[in-house]
Structure 1
Amino acid sequence: MQATRLSRRSDGPRERIASSIDPVTEATERTSPPVVLRVLVYSDNANTRAQVISALGTRPHPDLPELEYLEVATGPVVIGHLDAGGIDLAVLDGEATPVGGMGIAKQLKDEIRDCPPILVLTGRPDDAWLANWSRAEASVPRPIDPIRLAEAVVALLRGSA
């Protein structure tokens, strides 16, 4: 079945153009979720990065696509990746050194127009106000609770999808 598409020419009138694109296929392609969601995990500690990835797994919820992880150990690399785009969520270690995740979150939110959602890992539950100051959309305290982390990540990814 051929669909007819209207287009506007530079001189103003509309012209009918025959197209072999199926409207159902075209609509599905526009609204289909990505096959993979990219999650940046930042910490200077490889064990912390491994804990986050292990807690979330490849698919924290059946309604979401699979997760692909990008592990980062330095602040400038985090900024470079988020500035380049293609990241759906950033999980930042608020206790990382020499550059903490809360400071990076604040900088990213101030400098990147379409910054993806950010989750900050805090040193303790009472530090949630600092994560809020950094403009992170969510925070999870240590020790990392896999259920709490997954719930926060799923909520953020659903909101951005």
Structure 2
Amino acid sequence: MSAPQARRPVVLVYSHRPEIRAEIIGAIGRRPAPDVGRIDFLECAGVAELLMAVDGHTADVLVLDGEAQPTGGIGLCRQIHQEAGQDGVPIPPIALVVARAADRWLATWAQADEVLTHPLDPVTTADSIAALLRLRMAVATTR
């Protein structure tokens, strides 16, 4: 009998536009850093599936499109911080993708852990998500 494989980290990518989800996934890559290993992606196009994944503790990191319609990632980030985590399980780190650098203050207001700006730079994006995955792993090992 073989040893069970460890679960790969899951990065949830939320946007109503499939091309934006594909851009985010492409910028992160399947292995954003050697120490975090390969990752899996969970794509969400709607608010209900995003919130179900958060409530079900499915993802290790959330990447939300700030420009998503009808509900943008900025408002959802704020909502998740206010409503989730009440069961004692910490919410996953959240990265917001915004269209303009001037929107960084909104991401800060929404309590985002990381802010990425379009157009996404693959090196910066992968480094940022790897850092959030490391943060999540550190929290998981202290619990």
Which category describes the TM-score, using the shorter chain as reference length?
Answer: 0.7 to 0.9
User: Where do residues 52-67 of structure 1 align in structure 2 (5 Å cutoff)?
Assistant: 52-67=24-39
Structure 1: segments with no counterpart, 5+ residues: 1-33
**Aligned with residue 91 of structure 1, among 58, 63, 67:** 63
Q: Is the 8 A contact 1:35 1:66 kept in 2?
A: no
Residue identity matched to 1:109: H
Q: Which has the larger radius of gyration?
A: 1
- Determine the C-alpha separation between the residues in 2 that align with 1:142 and 1:69: 20
Aligned CA RMSD, in angstroms, stands at 1.3
The answer as to whether partners of 2:29 and 2:126 remain within 8 angstroms in 1 is no
1:128 paired residue number: 104
5+ long unaligned stretches in structure 2: 1-5, 138-143
TM-score, normalised relative to structure 2: 0.86
Q: Which runs of 4+ in 1 moved over 4 A?
A: none
Percent identity, please: 38
Greater RCO, 1 or 2 (C-alpha within 8 Å, sep 6+): 2
For 1:26-37, what aligned pairs fall within 5 Å after superposition? 34-37=6-9
- Name the one with the larger strand percent: 1
1:86 deviates by 2.4
TM-score normalised by structure 1 residue count: 0.77
TM-fit CA distance, 1:65: 2.5
Q: How many residues align?
A: 129
Counterparts of 2:58 and 2:70 in 1: how far apart (Å)?
Answer: 25
